[in-house]
Structure 1
Amino acid sequence: MDLNILFAIIAGFCLISGLAGCVLPVLPGVPLAWAGLFAAYFCSFSPISRTVLVVTGIFAVLVTVLDSVLQPFLTKKFGGSKKAVWGATIGLVAAIFLGPLFILLAPFIGAFIGELLENPDDYGRAFKAAFGSFSGFLLGTGLKMICVIAFIWIFVLAILKGTA
């Protein structure tokens, strides 16, 4: 098999897996998608430059760090505890087994339950903390989706430009 085709297949696989990783916590979405661009760099028919790799790499790091910080920050900003953050994370992992609908509901429910474990009598605080955690989850997921879709767009344009 031609190495160019192998690198293109690896790039495409990493980019699609990165897109899935935006919502699945077991896959590092943005770094995986960037690895796809890195693989595409080695294809002779994909004119991705070092500059593009460096710029997208910087974005990948920034988005990954922001995603890690947003949910705990917003949970705490809305009055939540570490148990709310853990509850949201556990809810997201549970959502993998419960189905796509639960990817949105489970982090909220998990944060709510986690905060109730910390403050059993304060439903208002638990709801507020769950809302903050859910907001952080949505914002982080949105940023990851935008970044990975941009990486996919760069890859597609590079392939089209290289084969034209």
Structure 2
Amino acid sequence: MEIAGWIVVIALFAIGMAGAVFPILPGALAIYAAFFVYGFFISFSSFGFWFWTIQTLIVIVLFVADYAVSAWGVKKYGGSKASVVGSTIGVLVGPFVIPAFGLILGPLIGAVIGELFAGANLEKALKAGLGAVVGLFTSTVVKFILQGAMIVIFLIWL
């Protein structure tokens, strides 16, 4: 059972790290679930109050930072709430509509459309779209760092 547990834990870690790039995957939640899988298959004895507190705080920070950093990118480049909503929809829909480049073009196009619907001119809308892409890349880097930290903390804790 221990080998099966480790296989599932490693698979969840891989899914979690892929979730940093592909927003449709459960990212931090997959990594968090791996801790429970480890506990059920192997042992919860390594984990105490501080382990769960630190990991839970990282997950909360990840969720808040993911939205905040993306919104920051759009706002920094002059976008409105409409472009934030549009870029969020674009992140979710883009990879399905444009498989090869949808992850980048989705937020860009979504922010531009959102800004145009809000009444902005094309130049301002394109600038907001660029901000959405900058926010997406920044958010991805933050997710990689924090999710990697979750895995490293888990391994050190063992």
**What CA distance in whole angstroms lies between the structure 2 residues aligned with 1:48 and 1:103?**
38
Give the count of matched residue pairs. 156
**What CA distance in whole angstroms lies between the structure 1 residues aligned with 2:87 and 2:67?**
13
Shift of 1:67: 0.8
Shift of 1:126: 0.9
TM-score (norm 1): 0.76
Contact 2:5 2:42 in 1 (8 A): no
Q: Which residue of 2 aligns with 1:103?
A: 103
Structure 2 unaligned regions, length at least 5 = none
Structure 1 unaligned regions, length at least 5 = none
Contact 1:37 1:151 in 2 (8 A): no
Deviations along 1:82-130, one digit per CA (max 9) or x if unpaired, are: 321222122222332222433122211221222122225x122112212
Q: Which residue of 1 aligns with 2:53?
A: 54
Contact 2:95 2:106 in 1 (8 A): no
**What CA distance in whole angstroms lies between the structure 1 residues aligned with 2:40 and 2:55?**
16
* SS at structure 1 position matched to 2:147: helix
Q: Aligned pair 1:11/2:9, yes or no?
A: yes
Q: Which amino acid aligns with 2:137?
A: L
Contact 1:33 1:151 in 2 (8 A): yes
* Sequence identity percentage: 31
TM-score (norm 2): 0.79
Deviations along 1:31-76, one digit per CA (max 9) or x if unpaired, are: 2212213322445489843233321221121111111222224323
Contact 1:18 1:30 in 2 (8 A): yes
Q: Which residue of 1 aligns with 2:132?
A: 133
Note the 1:23-42 alignment, pairs <5 A.
Answer: 23-42=21-40
Contact 1:21 1:30 in 2 (8 A): yes
Q: Which residue of 1 aligns with 2:20?
A: 22
Note the 1:77-88 alignment, pairs <5 A.
Answer: 77-88=76-87
**What CA distance in whole angstroms lies between the structure 2 residues aligned with 1:59 and 1:33?**
11
Note the 1:68-79 alignment, pairs <5 A.
Answer: 68-79=67-78
Q: Which amino acid aligns with 2:105?
A: L
**What CA distance in whole angstroms lies between the structure 1 residues aligned with 2:135 and 2:46?**
33
**What CA distance in whole angstroms lies between the structure 2 residues aligned with 1:110 and 1:135?**
14
Moved more, 8-17 or 34-43: 34-43
